[in-house]
Amino acid sequence: MSGRELLEVDALRSFAVFAEHRNFTAAAAALHISQPALHVKIRKLASALGVDLYERDGRRLTLTAAGERLAAYALDSRRRADEFLRELHHESAPTLTVAAGRGALRWVIGEPIRRIGRQGRRVHVITADRDAALAALNTGRADLAVIAHDPPGRQVEARQIAAYRQVLVIDDGHPLASRRQVRLRDLDGLDLVVPPAGRPHRRALDRSLLDAGVRWQVAAEVDGWDLLVHLAALGVGATVVNGCVGLPDGLRAVPIHGLPRIRYWAAWRPPRAHLVRDLLEQFGRAGTVVDRVGPRDGELR
């Protein structure tokens, strides 16, 4: 049987399920077949296509580049079949799957998601960091990924949906709280609540403060905008966050001159463009946000 013929029969569906689970036992159970039978299906598919589709990394199975491309194709094909059946039976629009980080979900895209939900669109969320969100997008598990900082590669479509200034979050009574903005050198000597070493925000902040000759101390290391702000509210130290993050009473956000804006991008693969169009329209309705400092009550404006 040729590679084209295999792509048109059951082997493609089996590989799509395997790609979602990355585990033969779980995938075989989902397909209601034996594990050896699934091994045979995927081995025949790889042989017919003339490529390796997965590889072992210790106990983990990871897809090769060819495997990721095939997984995306398989999931796209299955999605199109599901959509056809819905349209045939006049059912509701398909669920939209969005992969994004916790901060983006709460502070950047929460309102657009709420709007399309009110329109009757179901949304499934995958909480993921940048790499995991793009991996979910490239393998077809997500329809849309929202990422921060740099735009994604050329293999996907992308649109900038927001840009926020970075702000210093301090107690209302702090001497810097009365400033309209501060410079990096004003942070000299501060105790800062920061993300763990290696996180993108921490790496960028470390570089900027080092370049500016700022001396500072780590007051605490926590992950997520909410925890950074929470510890600042407890008086553990000041923190630096995106200007979209809402603050509780008693804290003030002062824009920092000298730090780059944090940009957010929506990314999607061309075969899923029709699925993400309504959410992209909501991003457009909100407009690209620049220089905004977040509301004090924690709600998006």
Domains of the chain: 3-73 (1.10.10.10), 92-161+262-286 (3.40.190.10), 166-257 (3.40.190.290)
What's residue 286's pLDDT?
52
Helices (H), the chain: 3-6, 10-21, 24-31, 35-49, 65-88, 102-103, 110-118, 130-138, 200-211, 225-233, 273-286
- Decide if pLDDT at 261 tops 60: yes
Residue 161, CB-side half-sphere exposure with 13 Å CA sphere: 29
Q: Report how far residue 158's alpha carbon sits from residue 68's, in angstroms, rounded to the nearest whole number.
A: 19
Q: Can you tell me whether residue 38 is helix, strand or coil?
A: helix
For the segment 50-96, what is each residue's pLDDT rounded down to a tens digit?
A: 999 999 888 888 899 899 888 888 877 777 766 666 656 555 667 89
What is the secondary structure of 165-184 as a DSSP string? -EEEEEETTSGGGG-S-EEG
For the segment 97-155, what is each residue's pLDDT rounded down to a tens digit?
A: 999 999 999 999 999 999 999 988 889 999 999 999 998 898 888 999 999 988 998 88
Q: Report how far residue 87's alpha carbon sits from residue 81's, in angstroms, rounded to the nearest whole number.
A: 10
Residue 119: other Cβ atoms inside 10 A: 9
Do 128 and 99 meet the contact criterion of CB atoms below 8 Å apart?
A: yes
Per-residue pLDDT band at 9 (split at 50, 70, 90): low
